[in-house]
Amino acid sequence: MRIVMIGSGYVGLVSGACFADFGHHVTCVDKSEAKINALEAGEVPIYEPGLEAIIQQNRSAGRLDFSKNLAPSVGEADVVFIAVGTPSRRGDGHADLSYVYAAAREIAAAVRGFTVVVTKSTVPVGTGDEIERIFREEFPQKDIEVVSNPEFLREGAAITDFKRPDRIVIGTENARAIEVMREVYRPLYLNEAPLYFCERRTSELIKYAANAFLAMKITFINEIADLSEKIGADVQKVAKGIGMDKRIGDKFLHAGPGYGGSCFPKDTLALVKTAQDFDSPVRLIETTVAINDNRKRAMGRKVIAACDGDVRGKKIAVLGLTFKPNTDDMRDAPSISIIQALLDGGATVHAYDPEGMEAAKDMLGPVTYGNDPYEIAADADAIVIVTEWDEFRALDLKRLKTVMKNPIIVDLRNIYPVSEVTKHGFGYFAIGKKPEKR
Ligand code: UDX
């Protein structure tokens, strides 16, 4: 198959590289000249474990190339994926589809024979219909089928998620398009990954409903965490206890500082807006969005409370800035609100993150960055663990205690057993557990 991926951002690049790895010929297109030049020079603009190696292998095998110009490759393609950005529109929270429609028009102009055009970007229900209308009215002579095929990749685990998906959702009822999509994913269904075919609108909604459900699950356990703290229960044990019930499941029940990233905040908001437009509000999700927003700010207050209610003139060491580990992505990261609250409270903030500091520098206020946890912990009044990077899981607590001014750990990811931290004489403030003062 000849595949063209329009948009070489996170989704486009990972999907394009993995399709090439299946043996297809893939061209990844992007309007950004700088991005394409970098990719052609062998630089990968995002941090994703395993991606660079796959790109390299498939480029040298001649199955993967990059281009600023979509027309030549689209003319040869069997399938064109649209993987451009759909940011939240300023002001109203709706997904901004201008890039999607612009790409669709350019594709249609360049298409020659029968071509399947697939939306991979997360797009509101009805976007496929609108693209089809554009094709029908503005390019009536072109033979194009529009298919929805949402991605469910998690940053940091995207390659595994792509190659071992729980399911592949494909929204089309057209027989020719079904054949083409079967061929595209043949290596996966040979591995027994289920291809789930449904109507295009259903497929578009599946993506939003899946993300909203997961965001709701996280928010649920976060509220149970707050309650656990107050009544003296342990939220990790509650999560385990409920998760053993197969109807509930044990995934996405880690209480923390609130969800962030490029998907959950944007997609929950877009679903809320779409549902309101159709006069069928999704109230659970509206509430989820509001609770999660408040939570990020509340985490700043939690740190201040752990410092006896006052951080003025105190040094706080923040471990982890990205919205989750194994990524350099700072979008909607809880660290942003937490650090803002600490700075507003008069604290001096020192921070360290294995991959996120470059991006953080543009987003955070006056923060001093260090090279490792021990450096930023020197003379600190408290350490706050915001992101659960592996390298924070086995800190030398003895050494930390000697370098800190005040041995307090606020662990917003529950990565330490309480007994281990208190044994070393730390005050320990986790999520959804009784606070352990010194
Ligand atoms: C998510 C979806 O998982 C993926 O299917 C979709 O395609 C894109 O959005 P991603 O944003 O990369 O992926 O990260 P994910 O691992 O889902 O985590 C999202 C946020 O939820 C992070 O801030 C994470 O820290 C938080 N989270 C996740 C929790 O707080 N608790 C959990 O139990 C799980």
**Ligand 1 contacts CB of residue 259 (under 6 A):** yes
**Ligand 1 contacts CB of residue 260 (under 6 A):** yes
Supply the residue whose CA is at minimum distance from atom 9 of ligand 1: 263
36-64: buried (b, 16+ CB within 10 Å) or exposed (e) per residue? beebeeeebebbbeebeebbeebbeeebb
At 354-364, the pLDDT tens digits run: 999 999 998 99
CA of 309 to the centre of ligand 1 (A): 31
pLDDT at res. 258: 98
Q: How confident is the model at residue 90 (pLDDT cuts 50, 70, 90)?
A: confident
Within 10 A of 264 (CB to CB), how many other CB atoms are there?
23
Reply yes or no on whether the pLDDT at 91 is more than 80: no
What ipTM describes this predicted complex? 0.97
Per the annotation, the verdict on 198 as an active-site residue is no
pLDDT at res. 12: 96
Q: Residue 32 carries which side chain, given as an amino acid letter?
A: S
**Ligand 1 contacts CB of residue 253 (under 6 A):** yes
CA of 374 to the centre of ligand 1 (A): 28
CA of 437 to the centre of ligand 1 (A): 31
**Ligand 1 contacts CB of residue 254 (under 6 A):** yes
CA of 264 to the centre of ligand 1 (A): 7
**What residues have CB less than 8 Å from 196, skipping those under 6 apart?**
167, 168, 169, 170
At 232-265, the pLDDT tens digits run: 999 999 999 999 999 999 999 999 999 999 899 9
At 405-429, the pLDDT tens digits run: 999 999 999 999 999 999 999 999 9
As a whole number of angstroms, the distance between CA 72 and CA 323 comes to 38
